[in-house]
Amino acid sequence: MWYIVLYFILIVFIIILLYRRVWVRSGEEYFVYGRKGGIFEITMSLVALVFGASSVLGLAGWAYRIGLNAIWWTLSGCIFLLILVFIVKFVYLFKGFSIVDIIEVNFGDLVRGVASIVLFIAWVGVLSGQIIAGANITSLLLGDRFLSFIVFSGLFLVYTLIWGQVGALKSSFLQVFLMVLGLILIFIGIYRYLGGEVRSVSFGFGFDDNFTFSIWLTVFLSVGFSYLFGPDIYSRIFSSRNYDVARKSLIFASVIIILISLLIVLIGILGREVLKVVDNPDNLIPLLAIKFVPEELKPLVLIALISIPLSGADVILITSTTILSKNVLPFVFGKKDIFEKIWFIRFLVVVVILLSTSIAIRGGEIIPMLLTSYKVFSSTIAPLILVSILSRIFNYEIKFSKLREMFILVVLVLSAGIIILVEMKFLPFYVQNYNVYMLLFNSIIFIIVSFVCVK
């Protein structure tokens, strides 16, 4: 337990050291760091964000199952991040707090409000996935699973509650450094156990029975669009000093993400060689750490592993709270000054963490939960953002009638509802890649309707 306390003290010390103003007093500073992030801060924050639960624990578990093909989980995202490089200038010019502010430019209050509710629900699911991963690791130190959920959630709640985006940006480098150090120590331990004989290990890459074209397409588009239009990614862009900082940070982050991903996938493949049977592949990396890391280094590695889900959880918590404070509540209750008060924003942070933790306690595997949230987002919210960015690129204004707005609203609600019901097995539906067809359909429909509505 004292390892966790020591790690928490270290995070707080670094934040205070790098940010002399100990208390954040404005919403802009709390949500987007006052729009003054530099290249190093934004790059490390992007890397830390990506390497949360899905891109480390889930990725290693997937590599255990399907081999080198697992790299597509992050490779898909990096491909779309590089596409984002070419349009980041137009994104930055929105100067928003969340991606809903981009939707706001072209769509009415009703579409914007419902979209913010759908997005909030999806991102609470993403946060729950991070908490599941963090609790899985923390339980190795504490032994009590329920207590592990409370301790892990409380760990990133405290500094996020106080500093918001500042805490996430200033702690990113430490989280990435510890994560990479821990992964390297695990790899060295496995390599030594195998006696350096890894040439006989199968690294097969390409479509096969375990990784079909259908699976690839679902991952490529669902995960890719969550990077191209991701709320957390855009919060990094909005926190940047200017769009050139954001552009360079996206490029540097993509390179670093690929390199770290290869290390994680390699650990997952080698883990399959040394641990033939694993009940829950999501726990592969913690199990490897316990078995193959020397005793004197285990505390360091376990703390490093805690930093993995922590690195994404703080950013996702801020993003979810931003959407709730700036978009959902003003839509439901009307615009009120209280939603802008820093003390009320901090209250909402606590509400979001309680909601996400309660879902996580009842949750299952990491990647299925995250993939459901990504499917909802990519098929419903992403097409709206696409239309808004296209309107900025081609410099046209969209003017919707009530009828057309209601049409988009119905498509939005039906799409989100169908995906949730199908993924929760309440609605029997067996069409492969149904969410991909829904994404393409919604994108085409929204573009056509928007083009017709140009003034």
- The confidence score (pLDDT) of residue 81 equals 93
pLDDT tens per residue across span 5-34: 666 677 766 766 666 666 677 777 888 888
What does R_g of the chain's alpha carbons equal in angstroms?
Answer: 21
Q: Give dist(CA 59, CA 267) in Å, integer.
A: 10
pLDDT at 102: 84
Looking at per-residue pLDDT, the higher value among 390 and 142 belongs to 390
pLDDT tens-digit readout, 280-309: 777 788 888 888 888 878 777 877 777 777
What pLDDT digit, counting tens, does each position of 231-287 carry?
A: 889 988 999 999 899 999 999 999 999 999 999 999 888 888 787 767 777 778 888
Length of the chain: 455
For 318-338, the pLDDT digits (tens) are: 989 999 998 899 888 887 777
Compute the distance between CA of residue 258 and CA of residue 267 in angstroms, rounded to an integer.
14
Q: Tell me what pLDDT residue 23 has.
A: 65
Point out the least confidently predicted range of 132-136, 254-258, 321-325, 387-391.
Answer: 132-136
Q: Mean pLDDT, to the nearest integer, of 370-393?
A: 82
Do the Cβ atoms of 431 and 214 come closer than 8 Å? no
**What percent of the chain lies above the pLDDT cut of 90?**
13
**The pLDDT of residue 352:** 93
Residue 31, strand partner residues: none
**Residue 173: predicted pLDDT:** 85
CATH code of 385's domain: 1.20.1730.10
DSSP notation for 178-230: HHHHHHHHHHHHHHHHTTT--TTS----S--SSS-HHHHHHHHHHHHHHHHS-
Highest mean pLDDT out of 15-24, 138-147, 162-171, 238-247: 238-247
Domain with 399, as residue range(s), is 2-452
Distance CA(309)–CA(134), nearest Å, equals 5
The tokens for 163 are 């500093």
Total tally of structural domains belonging to the chain: 1
Mean pLDDT of the chain: 82
pLDDT category at 350 given cuts 50, 70, 90 is very high
Q: Is the pLDDT of residue 43 over 90?
A: yes
